[in-house]
Amino acid sequence: MSRALAELSLVDVADRIARREVSAVEVARNAIARIEALEPTLNAFISFEPEAALADAGRIDTAIGRGEEVGPLAGVPLAHKDMYYRAGKVTTSGSKISRGFVADHDSTVLLRLRAAGALHLGGLNMSEFVTGPTGHNLHYGDCHNPWNPDHAPGGSSSGSGAATAARLVYGAMGSDTGGSIRIPAGMCGVVGLKPTQTRVTRHGATPLCFSFDCCGPLTRTVRDAARMLGVIAGHDPLDPTSSRRAVDGYEAACGRDARGLRVGVPTGYYNEDLDPAVAAMMDASRKTFTDLGCELVEVDMPDHDRINTLWNVILSSEAATIHRRWLRDRRDDYAPQVRRRLEVGLFQPATRYIEALTLRTGIAQAFVDDVFGACDVLHVPTMPMPSPPLDEIAVGDGDDMPAVILRVSGFTRPISFLGLPSLSLPGGFSAAGMPACFQLVGRPFAEATLCRLGDAFQQATDWHTRLPELADF
């Protein structure tokens, strides 16, 4: 096993494979060995497909050896949240109900990654039916945080965060409805990119909420996320909601000077009840932005109680619509917390739901006008605290469940409601050794600006290079 090989970024390993400095088979074997070593501790995978990945790696090496053109992810071992369909294969969505579900078509995102040459090592652990920000799973076992296996990895893309942080894979697809990319990225200390609402196709991905669901990558570096986004972004006729806008040069934006960018520092909401480690991380990262030549600008935040409430009206209404038949016929096959959160939607009046959808436009327009009239990028914490112990937030469907869920996801939900792109990246660690992370939020389709500033931050700091002790081999 090679730690040095595992520590390469996605971009570095892809470029070395393309230059024949290392073979795709060697890289795949190394990833497989690491997964076999750490899976008993992390429980990051629901399905594991080493043979197929090795066969694909062999084909990549043969193609490169013949001098054929290969894609920007050729030979790179990836694995994805187990909610992306592949024709003829099981997609569990982390659920008991879909344990045997075999899709009859492929997700567009996975087809695009495969066309770019990426290897697929398996389906990753996740919260049941994309519901839950902690990383618990009653059916497949809890996923564990590589920085401390007693702590939560975050959810719902729990395996995507854990596998990427432990250097089992070089990147992973997650999905985000209220923080499900950014929260596990934040708890596991990796990069998570939630694109603008319509930037990436959702065809063939398990739905939770039509209005908020976003597909996006978790990686170790911003440049890695930029490369993956460049592969998966763009209009898909099979998802008519996907934008027809041209795809920007996200990777080209990395390496650009961040000087002159105005970074928004919020007053009020995003400063409330911060853990001291998160508050210190926010101050330190703002100092780094200043050193990079950015201008810090104070910006006022609107009423977030209203935003969080309307988010929950829309989420529960749409999720209950998707699950109503199973909630009636297979009620006991849901974990109690998941069932409770879905069932609330059965009691939302249609008028309340349509009001919330309608109000979204005015609230988002005012937010963009007010906030991004004053700054280019908004800088807010991903969560108010570092990853807590798994058992501390194992609240099931108890009375304190809504408050605990809101405590974890209260800084990410509003950005989903607003439909804006957000990049979460690590900016420090707590005294207990758990990552602390922040989000860079932009106006619609400003992913390239987020990549520009995020990459500049990572060039000036080394938080993203820290390796969990259990993965140090």
- Where does this chain bind other proteins (CB under 8 A)? 196-198, 241, 243, 245, 305-306, 309-310, 312-313, 324, 327-328, 331, 340, 343-344, 346-347, 352, 354-362, 364-365, 368, 397, 399, 401-402, 419, 442-446, 449
Q: How far is the CB of 260 from other proteins (least distance, A)?
A: 14
Please state the closest distance from residue 242 (CB atom) to other proteins, in A. 11
- Closest to other proteins by CB, 14 or 453: 453
Q: Closer CB to other proteins, residue 43 or residue 197?
A: 197
CB 430, min distance to other proteins, A: 31
Two tokens at 54?
A: 């090795």
Transcribe 231-287 into DSSP letters: HHBS-BTTBTTS--SPPP-HHHHTTS--TTPEEEEE-SGGGTT--HHHHHHHHHHHH
Q: Residue type at 410? A: G
Query: Which of 258, 281 has the CB closer to other proteins?
Result: 258
Rounded to the nearest whole angstrom, what is the least distance from the CB of residue 353 to other proteins in the complex? Answer: 10
* 171, containing H or E segment: strand 171-176
* β partners of residue 84: 205
Among 68, 66, 57, 11, CA closest to 32: 57
The one-letter amino acid code at 124 reads L
Rounded to a whole number of angstroms, the minimum distance from the CB of residue 319 to other proteins is 13
Query: ω into residue 160 within 30 of 0, thus cis?
Result: no
Residues noted as catalytic? 81, 156, 180
- Cβ neighbors of 36 (< 8 A, separation 6 or more) are none
Closer residue to other proteins, CB minimum distance, 232 or 364 = 364
Tokens of 255: 């390496």
Q: Which is nearer to other proteins, 239 or 343 (CB)?
A: 343
Integer CA distances (angstroms), 133 to 39, 335, 338, 395, in order: 21, 14, 11, 12
Q: What phi and psi values does residue 435 have, to the nearest 5 degrees?
A: -65, 150
With respect to other proteins, which residue has the nearer C-beta, 61 or 239?
Answer: 239
Evaluate whether 348 touches 341 at the Cβ level (below 8 Å): no
3-class SS string, 314-355: HHHHHHHHHHHHHHHHCHHHCCHHHHHHHHHHHHCCHHHHHH
* Residue nearer to other proteins on the CB measure, 105 or 259: 259
Minimum distance of other proteins from residue 396's CB (angstroms):
10
Q: Indicate the residue type of 120.
A: H
CB of 340 to other proteins, least distance (A): 6
Buried b (16+ CB within 10 A) or exposed e, 315-339: bbbbbbbbbeebbeeeeebbbebbb
